[in-house]
Chains A and B, each alone.
Chain A
């Protein structure tokens, strides 16, 4: 009897558990995973949160789990997740790292989705970068142009006008680099470049001078174009800047920006994101944003949204709804008003943004100037090998600076090595 009761109880408990289990999926929310490095970025992070809130309002029962992964280890995290068959449903990647995922066939082609909703991408800044093997595999979230921020107080004290050319920039930087207390250590730098953040960042920093010299890594057909007189001039400029002591060395981007924001640097060439740091710095009131003296301004695609190709169709529809939401004119406008970013959509109404972000017209102008010239940090034809290529360029540039090599010889070496990488 006792045994029978026990069996009955066990059976009832099992049945109850199974019944509850059967109900569970219907009761639970659908959760979309969204990993990003921008979750708590001032402005941009708020914009993502607002888009998520609006999406969840429009889709009751669907939640977006917004999780942060550090930028420094972001590519590693995403690689691991994709390799483990656990990609997030909403894929956020930098514009120089999505190619490997696209090449492996892990990103959903978005052309049918765009066509279905009749979305015209004409004029969408940087969208061409999202085409891989003839298919659109992502939506460009941010395309930017570099600006120059300068400390008015430092330039005024040195009696120097705002530079308009490379030569003036170099002269101004030299004149404002000072050891203020005479202890043998430079306390105030003319400008600042990040050289510790990895090859991609190193390449971006030196590209300012290379583009101004009229050079670039590849042409529009993807041929390597490093061994040119223009590139030799660009490399010479980079060597001059790094060897003349006008920039601190071996510093991360955040440290360089902080140094500038706190009034220990006269000029800084940077993207729109510099504003978030300067707003918190002690020299906030002395900082002015203008178009950079190096032209055309360095610009390019920054980050993209995509979706994995092997998630269920109902989830794909939800992810597409989210991507579509971020592309609406309203959210493109708030990308500027909230995030201080330049929205890539040509339909975005950005009037009045300058009331909250005074230099917004400069950001727009440099973005357009860079976009019209087709400037991007990722060289055509080397997208799949960007990390290897950028590391090679960084190492050869470091060798040029450390061993005091002739830039013409360095350009030849870079050309040969780049061709070898491309295969």
Chain B
């Protein structure tokens, strides 16, 4: 009798049996799922819960406040929120377009055979390897209003007769942030595009040349269509990076002057740690997440069909 029961247990836990193989799969992914749940899902649930409470500084394990929509009501009626949305959209468009333009151009360049191509490829990827915070500090020095390199260059080139107030002019500050982000972001686009370019068979180009297609035509009718799947994914990833990036803006301008570089990420931080309005900060964070999900679904939805 005992042997029968033990045999039954052995059969149930025999993960090699075809009917039990799905169990093995669940067991193997369980640690990863639990970890993701602990570090992403649980804080996300906390943030959503917090966004529906009128709370200044929350305390872990403390009593919850009553359910309230006041954070969202404040958010949608706040000029600051809409300004942050507008700045985020502007930055996403400018930086994504800039990164793709520079990244694709450099990828096309280093995809050709020429002497020193390895060094050029290394140089292209270098900004990606530099830690973000170090890159921003270096750029902050270069954009320094009193002694910065860019201001000095502008004077030497005769485009201005005085230093440019990069961080105390709304327009200049926006472009200072955008330039730094493009510098930091274009290598990712380059690397992805280079990988995409190298997967295009050279026969296509040879055939097009035989047919008399010029460089632009080859680019327009062969390179671009075949690169689009890679470029689509890269575009979404770059867009999401710009959307949620915090450190570049925080170090360079802190969101100023006059909130001209205050994105939704900076607004979330300010509400939480500057004004101690964690409920409002959570509401901004939740809305940012919703916007990111919608943007990703819209952009990847169609593109993914062409990939797979």
Contact = CB atoms under 8 A, between A and B. Distances in A.
A198 interface: yes
Given A76-B273, A195-B168, A249-B145, A395 B60 contact: no
B145 to A, nearest CB: 5
B5 to A, nearest CB: 21
Contact of A251 (B146, B161, B256): B146
Contacts of B155: 183-185
Given A184-B162, A250-B168, A399 B60 contact: no
Interface string B248-274: 000000101111000000000010011
Interface string A238-276: 000000000011110000000000000000000000000
Contacts of B61: 85
Nearest to B61: A85
Interface string B146-186: 11000110010000011101111110000000000000000
A398 B59 contact: no
A391 B145 contact: no
Quick one: which of A84, A100, A195, A249 has the most chain B CB within 10 A?
A: A249
Contact of B166 (A250, A251, A391): A250
A249 B146 contact: yes
Interface string A395-406: 100110110000
Quick one: which of B152, B256, B258 has the most chain A CB within 10 A?
A: B256
Contacts of A395: 256-259
Contact of B256 (A83, A84, A185, A398): A398
Contact of B274 (A83, A183, A391): A391
Q: Give the contact-size bracket for chain A.
A: 20 to 34
Contact of A84 (B56, B60, B161, B163): B60
Interface residues of B, number: 33
Nearest to B276: A100
A357 to B, nearest CB: 30
Nearest to A394: B256
A251 B165 CA distance: 11
A156 B257 CA distance: 37
B131 to A, nearest CB: 17
A388 B275 contact: yes
A79 B276 contact: yes
A186 B146 contact: yes
A273 to B, nearest CB: 22
A278 to B, nearest CB: 20
A185 B168 CA distance: 17
Contact of B254 (A85, A198, A248): A198
B58 interface: yes
B23 interface: no
Contacts of B57: 79, 82-83, 100, 104
A114 B170 CA distance: 51
A402 B168 CA distance: 8
A173 to B, nearest CB: 15
A387 interface: yes
A81 to B, nearest CB: 11
Contacts of B58: 83
B252 to A, nearest CB: 10
Contacts of A402: 168-170, 257-258
Nearest to B147: A185
A196 interface: yes
A398 B166 contact: no
A79 B60 CA distance: 12
A249 to B, nearest CB: 5
A220 B256 CA distance: 32
A382 to B, nearest CB: 13
A75 interface: yes
Contact of B273 (A75, A82, A184, A388): A75
B244 to A, nearest CB: 18
B145 A250 contact: yes
Contacts of A104: 56-57, 59
Given A79-B273, A198-B254, A250 B144 contact: yes
Q: 4 tightest CB-CB pairs across the interface, nearest first?
A: A248-B146, A250-B167, A250-B145, A76-B273
Given A104-B57, A185-B163, 12 more contacts: A79-B57, A83-B278, A84-B60, A100-B56, A183-B152, A183-B155, A184-B162, A248-B147, A250-B146, A388-B275, A395-B258, A402-B257
Interface of B: 56-61, 144-147, 151-152, 155, 161-163, 165-170, 254, 256-259, 270, 273-276, 278
Interface of A: 75-76, 79, 82-85, 100, 104, 183-186, 195-196, 198, 248-251, 387-388, 391, 394-395, 398-399, 401-402
